Amino acid sequence: MAITTEMIKTLRETTGAGILDCRKALEQSNGDMNAAMDYLREKGLATAAKRSGRNASEGTIELYSHGNGRVGVMVEVNCETDFVARSEAFRNLAHELALQIAAASPEFILESDIPTTVIERETRIATAKAKEDGKPDAILPRIVEGAVKKYKDEFVLMNQAYIRDESITIQELINQNVAALGENIIIRRFARWALGETTSSEESE
């Protein structure tokens, strides 16, 4: 079975293993994703996957202000121990995440956080636009799928390209830090404010 870049990317995001290790694992397992994950675990390379189920209740709340107070961010990042929470590497990660949120304006942490109504709205918009552009009905599902994926990649923090290195996503950045620090890391919640921005509660009044 041919090993695609997308397969390698998916395995890398799931396990935190390196690109070459992921390619080798997929080749060894003939493209079977579950078998490839087992291979990486056996080799001790699937660090993020092994640690993702462990409790993370320590951490830090990072505050960041940008543009002389025009944008403010608060993000809670959790790890497993106070020792790691106080480390320079963990603090730097929390700061980088705050910078990412300030610059890229995500609305959700994970894809699973997106309300069904939002996905339905984006699907309707993409379908209507494709029809207006005269796209054949046969390819509408593929066009809509691409549009929804683009929305997720833009507004889901874990899917966003890292602002300092667009070759990796925030999920991959987290995975790298899980591997380096040896603990599970979770982005618990965040808030972003921009000066003069109207909130949803104000809009409903």
User: pLDDT tens for residues 124-156?
Assistant: 999 998 888 888 888 888 988 999 999 999 999
Helices and strands, counts by H and E, the chain: 10, 5
Look at residue 106 in the predicted model and tell me its pLDDT.
96
> For 67-121, what is each residue's pLDDT tens digit?
888 999 999 999 989 999 999 999 999 999 999 999 999 999 999 899 999 999 9
Query: Would you say residue 196 has pLDDT above 80?
Result: yes
* Arithmetic mean of pLDDT, 167-192: 91
Q: Kindly state the tokens that stand for 125.
A: 């918009």
Query: Would you say residue 18 has pLDDT above 50?
Result: yes
Residue type, 95: H
Residue indicated by tokens 């694992």: 25
Query: How far, in Å, are 19, 140, 144, 146 from residue 168 at the CA level?
Result: 11, 29, 25, 20
Q: Select from 105, 109, 98, 104 the least CA-distant residue to 64.
A: 98
- Inter-residue contact 128 to 157 (CB < 8 Å): no
Fold (CATH) for 5-51 = Helicase, Ruva Protein; domain 3 (1.10.8)
Q: How large is the C-alpha radius of gyration of the chain?
A: 19
Look at residue 168 in the predicted model and tell me its pLDDT.
92
Which 3 state secondary structure label does DSSP give 71? strand
Which 3 state secondary structure label does DSSP give 185? coil
Query: Would you say residue 17 has pLDDT above 80?
Result: no
What is the average pLDDT value for the chain, to the nearest integer?
A: 86
How many residues belong to the chain? 205
The structural domains of the chain, with segments of one domain joined by +, span 5-51, 58-111+156-195, 115-154
Residue type, 64: Y
DSSP label at residue 101: H
pLDDT band at 202 (very low <50, low <70, confident <90, very high): very low
Q: Of the CATH numbers 1.10.286, 3.30.300, 2.60.40, 1.10.10, which one belongs to the domain with range 115-154? A: 1.10.286
Which 3 state secondary structure label does DSSP give 187? strand
- Greatest mean pLDDT among 8-22, 34-48, 151-165 lies in 151-165
Contacts of 26 (CB under 8 A, 6+ apart): 3, 7, 8, 11, 33, 36
Q: Kindly state the tokens that stand for 141.
A: 């599902």
3 Rama sector, left if φ>0, alpha if ψ -120 to 50, beta otherwise: beta
pTM: 0.69
From the CB of residue 174, how many other CB atoms can be counted at a distance below 10 Å?
A: 23
Q: Of the CATH numbers 1.10.10.10, 3.30.479.20, 3.20.20.140, 3.40.190.290, which one belongs to the domain with range 58-111+156-195? A: 3.30.479.20
